[in-house]
């Protein structure tokens, strides 16, 4: 979903989005569409475009990235793979052309194909001999490509979202996050001392909260400011509320 908001500053525009959408700031991406400077008799104005994942719209504020066991499971996070990697409509054709053109202009030619379709969300896979560079350290380059692809997708078909992957990096990365979270939770349960995980984006933190939600002696909470926060794993023993 894409919405636009305005304010006298970027912060005010984002605050207006937070209030209207009933979401915390880290649950959506922001693109500044227009920014005008104020004058003696004219106030400045900032207009932003907000990109929201479909599953964030109904999430409550404050600890919204902490799911309950009945809300969704890790399996639900990973959509079923499509058996047809070829584009089926104009949107998919344009997205494949955009991704291939983008990586080519970056100096790393690639071939893009469809990896899955899930409602109005489409997954694309990049194949290239330069995959390691396109993925980047901790997937940063892949995230940047995905952000640009989503901005373009919103312009040709508002409300559509795309996920970009290469060499199954995201799936492997998610498995590693869950495995590390469970291993750390085991250490916390033995030592009865809390531990902080590395900074993660909202999606990654939801994976952790979900993976550990069934461990009744363990509690998790997000700490920090901005998009990337750290999850603290806490030992609660039998005092944890179920």
Could you tell me if 183 and 235 lie in one domain?
yes
Could you tell me if 155 and 97 lie in one domain?
yes
pLDDT in tens, the chain (242 residues): 677 888 887 778 878 887 887 776 656 666 666 766 655 445 667 777 776 654 444 444 444 444 443 333 344 444 444 456 787 889 999 999 999 999 999 999 999 999 989 888 899 999 999 999 999 988 889 989 999 999 999 999 888 889 999 998 988 898 999 999 999 999 999 999 999 999 988 888 999 999 998 888 999 999 988 888 999 999 987 655 54
Tally of domains within the chain: 3
Could you tell me if 149 and 184 lie in one domain?
no
Establish if 85 belongs to a structural domain: no
CATH number at residue 131: 3.30.300.20
Residue in this structure with the two tokens 């033995």, named with its chain if needed = 190
Could you tell me if 160 and 104 lie in one domain?
yes
Establish if 66 belongs to a structural domain: no
- Say if residue 152 is exposed, middle or buried (CB neighbours under 10 Å; 0-12, 13-18, 19+): middle
Could you tell me if 141 and 207 lie in one domain?
no
Token pair for residue 101?
Answer: 């053109």
- 7 touches 16 (CB < 8 A): yes
User: Where does a domain end: 145, 167, 189?
Assistant: 167
CA-to-CA distance for 2 and 25, rounded, in angstroms? 15
Establish if 125 belongs to a structural domain: yes
CA-to-CA distance for 163 and 124, rounded, in angstroms? 6
User: Where does a domain end: 167, 202, 217?
Assistant: 167
Could you tell me if 162 and 94 lie in one domain?
yes
Q: Model-level pTM?
A: 0.57
Could you tell me if 40 and 95 lie in one domain?
no
* φ, ψ at 173 (rounded to 5°): -65, -40
State the residue range of the domain holding 194.
171-239
């Amino acid at each position: 979903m894409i919405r636009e908001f305005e304010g006298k500053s970027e912060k005010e525009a984002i605050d207006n989005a937070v209030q209207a959408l009933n979401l915390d700031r880290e649950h959506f991406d922001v693109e500044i569409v227009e920014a005008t400077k104020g004058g003696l008799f004219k106030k400045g104005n900032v207009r932003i475009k907000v990109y929201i994942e479909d599953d964030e719209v109904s999430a409550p504020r404050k600890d919204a990235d902490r799911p309950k066991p009945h809300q969704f499971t890790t399996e639900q996070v990973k959509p079923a793979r499509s058996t047809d990697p070829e584009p089926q409509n104009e949107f998919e054709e344009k997205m494949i052309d955009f991704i291939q053109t983008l990586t080519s202009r970056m100096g790393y030619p690639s071939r893009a194909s469809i990896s899955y379709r899930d409602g109005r969300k489409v997954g694309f896979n990049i194949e290239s001999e330069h995959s390691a560079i396109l993925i980047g350290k901790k997937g940063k380059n892949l995230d940047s490509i995905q952000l640009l692809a989503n901005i373009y997708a919103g312009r040709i078909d508002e409300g559509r979202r795309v996920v970009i992957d290469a060499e199954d990096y995201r799936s492997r990365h998610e498995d590693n996050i869950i495995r590390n979270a469970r291993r750390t939770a085991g250490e916390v349960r033995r030592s009865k001392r809390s531990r902080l995980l590395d900074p993660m984006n909202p999606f990654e933190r939801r994976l952790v909260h979900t993976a550990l939600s069934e461990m009744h002696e363990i509690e998790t909470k997000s700490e920090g400011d901005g998009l990337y926060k750290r999850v603290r794993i806490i030992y609660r023993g039998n005092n944890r509320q179920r």
